Structure 1
């Protein structure tokens, strides 16, 4: 294989060509995470007949300029795409590929670049579609821990320190409790001038709204346990290209390197080989039109077609304790603990289903409908669904956070979305539903004063009341056993 480094408008780019006579179709990866980490990936693409390129984005690692996340990727990607197509080893066809932020680069090139620079196909794995999508829930609640970890590792710096937040928490375990949160960089011990500006991004869905005008095939890959599951599925669902495929497994943000506890041996997929085979078909018109793909059913050996969707069904729940509770931001309900305090003033409402009389297959979005009131003008309502197996093991299934601004004391009915499930629940399993005022530190604490949680310096306790007779847990339940499928066949169809 031929390998060399080029400067494309100054941006450091590694190129690897197959051991064959060209020209070749090309694969482009643009990343802030250090292009040198992609050597094996480039070799894999080249072995399969593709010219493979990986580039450090502007201001990162060996590329010059200033690093402004989500700001320059369509323009810089367009320059690189045009350069690639002009090379003698390129046959003019281009696949944009990436995971996480690199998937943002690929999607931005496809949807925001001028038409002559757009790729002929896109592979987007666990896509970080934009600043607002990564920083906030659809309700506006701030994803604190995940964004602090990413910004500490990668923000406002040329290189990366992936352990920066871990080290800071070891020094100061109460790091996230210091107010205001805009002063967090000082606690990390370094400058992060872009940190306050991150939270000014509130407009979600800009790239997603443009997806309907896409003209090329898409392969979207995600995990049930990833932060960006909903964005991955929405991108696939809205994609307007001739063909769109979805692969959704029981994985975290690292995909196969981060399997969930519900993963089974049949859920392992050779992603490198699958990507290359799909890309070849996408570039030669070999994919059937329309939307398709496969979803893994966790805690089972099955994959099912991507269009499989359960029927919303209300599960009976009874109150255990805490229909009246206090959401105190000084002692918030924590996201990193599954134990529930059994003594003292309740900090959440607890509800439980009877043991399931038979296995239950759930695929699709889940939600809880409640009627409740808070005595403060602003209130977050965090709903967490936990599976309690017959042997007493607890496992988090889903979480949702809704932000409400009712007049103090006025009860309202509203829905808290719990995200997307794809799971087989065994007979005897009980579902524990927790309704709290916080989910910290995964999400910033609502101060209950009406002030912005990122800039607030004053906290108030909030008295909550939940009407036990108006708590409805709705799960997407399959009415019959699902029809299994082969994920590779579904993606390559």
Structure 2
């Protein structure tokens, strides 16, 4: 078998802009189906290109693979504006693929993060020949899944991502490249505290940044999963920055009436950039690794099922249950057999969180910071230092009376009062016999009033975990979480006497 690699192939878009692509295919073969990867991170970077699927193995398996630089990045023409052109450019690229003599007219899209949302956006155009999409570790809604957690800007992610995009730009002058290097270092050193600081520092290096504050949906239409009818195999990580948005896209299709019988959901104990199932201080075993699932065969097999009219999976949802450290499959998400369990909480110490000189620091969780590829500050990290602060309120549960499998969502309901409208950050941890707290889930909301009590519900996101009998659940409540969230004005915060509770989906 001989493989042909056609480098830097020109692909014209509807407005005349020419994008560059590499085509991998078997020499002299009959027309075949195509895997399409559209990336802002360079089609010429083999480590990146092979993150989610082995390109050469796919070609050896009888598929053509097209890897394309998106508009304005690396070898492609035009101007890069995140999200703005991906729907039309994706549809135009699929149409181009179908016209090639080596194509049988069928196209499947794969890839993670921004490469994942290029799939959702292209699929909103319903291009002919699109078999299905495999968006990995991404969210289908730019506003609620990328820019914001509830009403709070996901500052740490946006700052690091913007610095990565700027630093990897290929058309910078020497002066601009020096400014880009300064931006990267300042983001790494947490010198910017607010999004306005970041916008001012980036300036014309990232002219699209101001639009990221917009919540109207003009950047890209909202909730693409509810507007897409092609099948989707969604891949998510419990500790991924896009985890909640990725998982939400699966039931969202059911609610919108766009659910396809071949839709699937796969979620594991992964962070953004790290899918090995291990973190400093915690490993979930070799079976937890994404590579252990043979992802190339998994994705190609799913596409072949779609193309060839194969059977629908009886249990299309597969999740890794942390604590039990095993994979389990279900017919729906949350599982149909899940029941809502209420866990009462009590304040452990002072009810009042004071205003400190520095914000409460982010320790692990769903983050995207420098060093993310080795989970430098991500995942299930000990939260002990937070308990020593006077700007944090601690809550704790009684020991659980039995082993508890939490599979679905987690919500914390509590009554709070603040000196001024402020964010409310809730982090859920286990509390072991030594008092150590290891992070399980997190979320945030905002108070609307000043000086009076109000009841809020904080969504801590989806998960799958086993909590052994006797486990105590510990929560911290604070008015900041930096650099994960923007360090805006902070206010004193009190948890009121009305009993706070956790709501868990339990199987």
TM-score by length of 1: 0.84
Match for residue 364 of structure 1? 408
Q: Within 2, Cα distance between the matches of 1:197 and 1:258?
A: 35
One of 383, 400, 412 as aligned partner of 2:443: 400
Residue 209 of structure 1 and its aligned partner are, at CA, apart by: 4.1
Q: Whole-Å Cα distance in 2 between the matches of residues 49 and 255 of structure 1?
A: 29
Q: Which sits farther off after the overlay, 409-418 or 469-478?
A: 469-478
Name the CA shift for 1:399/1:301 in 2 (closer, same or farther; >3 Å).
closer
Shift of 1:417: 0.9
Cα drift, residue 264 of structure 1 = 2.4
1:123 counterpart (114, 129, 134): 134
Please say if 1:339 is aligned against 2:349: no
Q: Is the 8 A contact 1:140 1:202 kept in 2?
A: no
Structural RMSD (CA) = 2.8
Task: Provide the residue aligned with 1:24 in structure 2.
Answer: 32
Greater alpha carbon shift after TM alignment, 247-256 vs 234-243? 234-243
Provide Cα deviations, 1:2-59, integer angstroms capped at 9, x if missing partner: 1102111121100010256211001111000111224653212101111100000001
Structure 2 CA distance for partners of 1:272 and 1:28, relative to 1, 3 Å: same
1:8 and 2:50 equivalent?
Answer: no
Seen in structure 2, the aligned counterparts of structure 1 residues 181 and 256 have a Cα distance that, compared at 3 Å, is closer
Tell me by how many angstroms 1:336 deviates: 2.5
Aligned length: 455
Specify which of 233, 239, 245 is matched with residue 219 of structure 1: 233
Q: Does 1:471 align with 2:500?
A: yes
Offset at 1:439?
1.4
> Secondary structure of the equivalent of 2:498?
strand
Q: Give the whole-Å Cα distance in 1 for the aligned partners of 2:295 and 2:154.
A: 29
Distance 2:464 2:120 in 1: 26
CA distance in 2, matches of 1:136, 1:189: 19
How far did 1:305 drift? 2.0
What is the deviation of 1:290?
8.2
Aligned to 2:288: 267
In structure 2, the residue matched to 1:349 is 393
Asked if 2 retains the 8 angstrom alpha-carbon contact of 1:135 and 1:144, the reply is: no
Q: Which residue of 1 aligns with 2:153?
A: 142
CA distance in 2, matches of 1:204, 1:390: 50
1:37 matched residue in structure 2: 45
Q: Deviations over 1:251-300 (max 9, x none)?
A: 11235246453522222311112111111111111131787221110122
**Per the alignment, do residues 210 and 319 of structure 1 end up closer, same or farther by CA in structure 2, a change over 3 Å counting?**
closer
Whether the 8 Å contact between 1:327 and 1:463 is mirrored in structure 2 is yes
* CA gap 1:83/1:264 in 2 versus in 1, 3 angstroms: same
8 Å CA contact 1:322, 1:347 repeated in 2 = no
Distance in 2 of aligned mates of 1:66 and 1:206: 17
Query: Alpha carbons of 1:278 and 1:341: their partners in 2 closer, same or farther (altered >3 Å)?
Result: closer
Distance, in Å, in 2 between the alignment partners of 1:159 and 1:298 is 42
The equivalent of 1:443 in structure 2 is 485
**Which runs of structure 2 are paired with 1:70-469 in the superposition (5 Å)?**
70-111=83-124, 113=125, 115-117=126-128, 119-155=130-166, 158-159=169-170, 167-169=185-187, 173-177=189-193, 181-184=195-198, 191-203=205-217, 209-237=223-251, 238=253, 239-254=258-273, 256-257=275-276, 259-260=278-279, 261=282, 263-268=284-289, 269-288=293-312, 292-306=316-330, 307=332, 308=335, 310-328=338-356, 330-336=357-363, 338-340=383-385, 346-376=390-420, 378-406=421-449, 408-447=450-489, 462-469=491-498
Aligned with 1:468: secondary structure? Answer: coil
Which deviates more from structure 2 when the two are superposed, residues 211-220 or residues 22-31?
Answer: 211-220
Return 5+ residue gaps in structure 2 as ranges. Answer: 13-17, 172-176, 365-382
Please give the alpha-carbon distance, in whole angstroms, between the structure 2 residues aligned to 1:159 and 1:365: 42
Aligned to 1:52: 65
Aligned partner of 1:455 in structure 2 is none
Change (3 A) 1:240 1:416: same
2:129 and 2:38 mapped to 1: Cα distance? 14
* Conservation of the 8 A alpha-carbon contact between 2:348 and 2:396: yes
| CA distance in structure 2 between the aligned counterparts of 1:109 and 1:348, rounded to whole angstroms | 44
TM-score, normalization by structure 2? 0.82
* DSSP 3-state at the match of 2:45: helix
Q: 1:118 to 1:430 in 2, by over 3 A?
A: same
1:336–1:277 Cα change, 3 Å: same
